[in-house]
Structure 1
Amino acid sequence: MKPRLDLRTLFLSATTIALALSACSSQPAEEKASAGPGGAAEVVTADTAPPAIKPVDIPTRGGDGSPIELTALSEADVGGARLDGELGCSFAASAAAQPLLLAKGNVASQDPARGIVKVGDTIETVSANGGFDAMAKGTKFFGKGLQLRVALTGPAQGGGESPPRPATLTADRADGAQRVFAGLWQCGP
């Protein structure tokens, strides 16, 4: 004979666990001392620390089953593209990585911004409506059988004229395949 589960006992156990977890979360945050400007020690707590960026790289889903492969642009790829525009934007996996997408456009212009992306070993051209101003906030790029959406996911990291911002790059292929890349979107001179 199977033992019968008593719902009252189950409810009381779940309530006890929930209360124990909430008590743990109300304890003071762990503090770490770090050197601030001028060498003075600053206290950083979990409440004052900048939010962590959660990496996202969702493999290709849908379509014919073949992966969407965006590869890093080399200096030769970028130089050979001869992109026109006053300012540019790029998407890269990290601050130290070569870009997966690079585009340039003019400020206060409705002329499309033009860019390049490397699909496998092939350089493809892409364009986005609205010039540089539209790109800076994240936008959609359109190319041959491919749509790329840049979406900002967090505040700028660092200072200066053109700090990078956490973002995702979603690649949609004409056959219905989709892949999401995580990285940084940086716009400026």
Structure 2
Amino acid sequence: MPFSLRTTGPAGALSVGALAITLIVGCSDPSSESAPEPANPSPEQPAAEALADTTTQEPAAPSGETTGGDGSAITLNALTAEDMRQADLPGELGCQFTTDDGQVLLIAMGNVASSEPARGVVKVAGYVEPVSAPGGFDGITDSPTFNGKGKTVRIQVTGEPSEGGESPPRPATLTYDRADGAQRAWPGEWRCGP
């Protein structure tokens, strides 16, 4: 399933965007914030729909509170069909983390029996950002750790599959660690397969 991640000036666009978000969050009153408006659904079905059985809406995913760091919140947004379509993730098989309310927060692809890392994406404060984990597809099937610029994203599988089939989902927790020591966790499920 081909994906592509596009930015203008890779480091510049993400750094400027991250700085702007940090400044806005730092100056805002958290008690007055409301949930973002969902995006309009896309009329086209992306190739990624085989991996991500989700809508194209983009509400902020619910979870626990951010702890540690500089006090600013960690915000992960649901990946939309367009985000998944634009990512360029090489690999034969993939995995995804889906929250308890059905929002996809991370997708990753890799090759079986490969020494190349698996590649994935998360959407941090509205920006799609790359992450990777060692060991190809085999390295991401059971409690992987993904690394990216200024972040570590850990998936901890917490139980056995609740259903059968070739690619059953398993209960899991996604924990996002920011470079400044901030951390936030989301409950959900980890599903890997074709």
- TM-score normalised by structure 2 residue count: 0.66
- State the secondary structure of the residue aligned to 1:78: helix
Matched, 1:146 2:151: yes
Matched, 1:116 2:121: yes
> Equivalent residues in 2 for 1:48-127 (5 A)?
57-94=63-100, 97-127=102-132
Q: Which residue of 2 aligns with 1:169?
A: 174
Matched, 1:160 2:165: yes
- Aligned partner (choices 156, 161, 183) of residue 178 of structure 1: 183
Q: Which whole-Å CA distance do the structure 2 matches of 1:125 and 1:182 have between them?
A: 21
Q: Which whole-Å CA distance do the structure 1 matches of 2:80 and 2:114 have between them?
A: 28
Measured against aligned partners, the alpha-carbon deviations of 1:153-178 in whole angstroms (never above 9, x if no partner) come to 00012011000000011100000000
Q: Which whole-Å CA distance do the structure 1 matches of 2:170 and 2:82 have between them?
A: 25
State the superposition RMSD in angstroms: 1.3
Q: Which whole-Å CA distance do the structure 1 matches of 2:150 and 2:141 have between them?
A: 24
Compare CA radii of gyration and give the structure with the larger one: 1
Using the TM superposition, give the Cα deviation of residue 83 of structure 1 relative to its aligned residue in structure 2, in angstroms: 1.0
Q: Which whole-Å CA distance do the structure 1 matches of 2:191 and 2:115 have between them?
A: 20
Q: Which residue of 2 aligns with 1:29?
A: none
Using the TM superposition, give the Cα deviation of residue 58 of structure 1 relative to its aligned residue in structure 2, in angstroms: 2.7
Q: Which residue of 1 aligns with 2:15?
A: none
Gaps of at least 5 residues in structure 1 are: 1-55
Using the TM superposition, give the Cα deviation of residue 150 of structure 1 relative to its aligned residue in structure 2, in angstroms: 0.4
- Aligned partner (choices 133, 136, 143) of residue 138 of structure 2: 133
Using the TM superposition, give the Cα deviation of residue 87 of structure 1 relative to its aligned residue in structure 2, in angstroms: 0.3
Look up the equivalent residue of 1:117 and give its one-letter code. Answer: V
- TM-score normalised by structure 1 residue count: 0.68
Identity among equivalent pairs (%): 56
Q: Say if 1:72 and 1:118, in contact at 8 Å, map to a contact too.
A: yes
Q: Which whole-Å CA distance do the structure 1 matches of 2:143 and 2:115 have between them?
A: 15
Answer 1 or 2: which has greater strand percent.
1
- State the secondary structure of the residue aligned to 2:64: strand
Q: Say if 1:74 and 1:98, in contact at 8 Å, map to a contact too.
A: no
Gaps of at least 5 residues in structure 2 are: 1-61
Using the TM superposition, give the Cα deviation of residue 75 of structure 1 relative to its aligned residue in structure 2, in angstroms: 0.3
How many aligned residue pairs are there?
A: 133
